[in-house]
Chains A and B, each alone.
Chain A
Amino acid sequence: MLEITLWGKKFKNPVIAASGTFGFGREYNELYDVSVLGGIATKGLTLKKREGNEGERCYETAGGMLNSVGLQNPGIDYFIENELTFMKSLNTVIIANLSGGSIEEYVKGAEKLDKSDVDIIELNISCPNVKEGGMNFGIKSKVAREVVREVRKVVEKPLVVKLSPNAEDIVDMAVSCVEEGADGISLVNTFKAMAIDIYKRKPVFKNVFAGLSGPSIKPIALRMVYEVSKAVDVPVIGLGGIRDYKDAIEFMMAGASLVQVGTANFINPFACIEIVKGMENFLKVQGINSIGEIIGIV
């Protein structure tokens, strides 16, 4: 009923754990059997190991949170050697979230991941471009185009591009990525935001800005997924503030073929499985035979 096949990969259900909120699946697997999920997106991976940001990394806001982890990860080689075998044993679709600081770094990372056993590569373009003074690759369509074009050249696996909601024009961004060869689009990543410590009279975060996620971003994320789904003819993965099955169904009705769940895992560690169960029940009660029937019906 919830099963869906995309890019030749069979998803048991449309619910995927979002990048950066689920590690490599090990921790949540201690709580419940994560093989019941449709898929897992890894923490953002870079060519070399990264220690991430110093100082405060998390700040709760009304209905959400700011994070400034700074892409801490053990590097692609370490991931392939030490985490991937375990992840593949989880018997769910494994999506490698590829991050980078330059086009060369993205391409080298993509080459390695393409040769590995991951099922799908999710290209995270919400990363600071070291050469362009830290401006995000995901802001200007022209810059994003270049990254997608170069990465596409070396990737045979399904390539999904994950968009930043901070893009100048989200629809133009999505269309540009598809024109450069993206097999799918996932959106949204976190919103650029900030917080100030009024006693210290300083920004809370060392980097000043941080990424906003959680329930408070949902209506904007939903609008973006709706607009992008209408504009592209590749599958869309919707995310941003999904907290329960109703939110997930909204994203699917807006046009998403799959959804990802991030911050909700912290709100309720069983959020992902509860969403799967809730969706299943919703379809039964509504007399819907297959989840495909509701994708993009709005």
Chain B
Amino acid sequence: MQYKSLDVLENVMVAENIYKLTLKGEYEVKPGQFFMLKSWEDEPILSRPFSIYDKGEDYISFLYEVKGKGTEKLSRLKKEDKVKVLGPLGNGMDVSRIKGKVALIGGGIGIAPLAYFAKKIEADVDIYFGFRDEVYGIENLRNKELFITTKSGRVGYKGYVTDIFNPFDYNLVITCGPLVMMNKVKRICEKTATPLYLLMESKMACGIGACLVCACKTKDGMRRVCKDGPIFKGEEVVLDA
């Protein structure tokens, strides 16, 4: 974990309200790990967590949706602006150990970390990405098995990813997206006892495990999303949704 000020190489809009930010820096990052980013001085006071979306030898990139003050400020970044970056953080997954067939199930901006899983997993992968209308974040996935759903029917299957995904086909499922979607995926996988990992989200303050504001309820009590997660086993997480 390091705290650095990095140069913006690129910050482009890839869909309505969705941007891709690329920073110059050399890192070793596991899929599912994230960074705390801050491109402003005074307000907001806290950094914001973003998952690794893509990485090269001398850059890291993020895919983010503009939601509030912080992401709005990120969206205004231009080439050569500076971003303060703390990371990589969180457990991440050692994907080289994965055996068998994997399904990645993402909804909305939750697809961002999964795109990096898809890039790194050497085992056989099927990708299920669900969107409301516009499709984004799939530029690195052209040669993969990719199933797209949209609520509007604009692209791919009209409906939800959980309508078309069959857990019987997989040895492992990894999911990230809205709680309602992850909850559905969890119930589907429980029926077939298919091993599942969830990427959890929470507000964060320190991002490194010291303040305990990012709690995830599990069967063993409260765990820290930023340090013990963000990846949790399906059977250990207690979802309230």
Contacts and interface: CB of A to CB of B under 8 A. Distances in A.
A209 interface: no
Interface of B: 1, 3, 42-47, 86, 203-215, 217, 221-222, 227, 240
A233 interface: no
A203 interface: no
A270 B227 CA distance: 19
Interface stretch (A63-71, A244-252, A288-296): A63-71
B209 A23 contact: yes
A58 B205 contact: yes
7 contacts: A26-B209, A28-B208, A58-B213, A65-B45, A265-B210, A266-B46, A266-B207
B45 A60 contact: yes
Interface string A13-42: 000000011110011101100000000000
Contacts of A166: none
A218 interface: no
Contact of A52 (B47, B206, B212, B240): B212
A196 interface: no
B1 A54 contact: no
Interface in A49-94: 51-52, 54, 56-60, 62-65, 67, 69, 72
A215 B204 CA distance: 18
A18 to B, nearest CB: 11
A31 B1 contact: yes
Interface residues of A, number: 33
| A interface secondary structure, majority | loop
Contact of A27 (B3, B43, B203, B210): B210
Nearest to A55: B240
A28 B209 CA distance: 9
Interface of A: 20-23, 26-28, 30-31, 43, 51-52, 54, 56-60, 62-65, 67, 69, 72, 214-215, 263, 265-267, 269-270
- Point out which of A26, A57, A65, A69 has the most chain B C-beta atoms below 10 A from its C-beta: A57
B217 A69 contact: no
Contact of B46 (A20, A27, A60, A62): A60
A64 to B, nearest CB: 7
B211 A51 contact: no
Given A23-B209, A28-B210, A269-B208, A57 B45 contact: no
A67 B213 contact: yes
Contacts of B45: 60, 63-65, 214-215, 263, 266-267
Contacts of A52: 212, 215, 222
B3 A57 contact: no
Given A63-B45, A64-B45, A27 B206 contact: yes
A51 B240 CA distance: 16
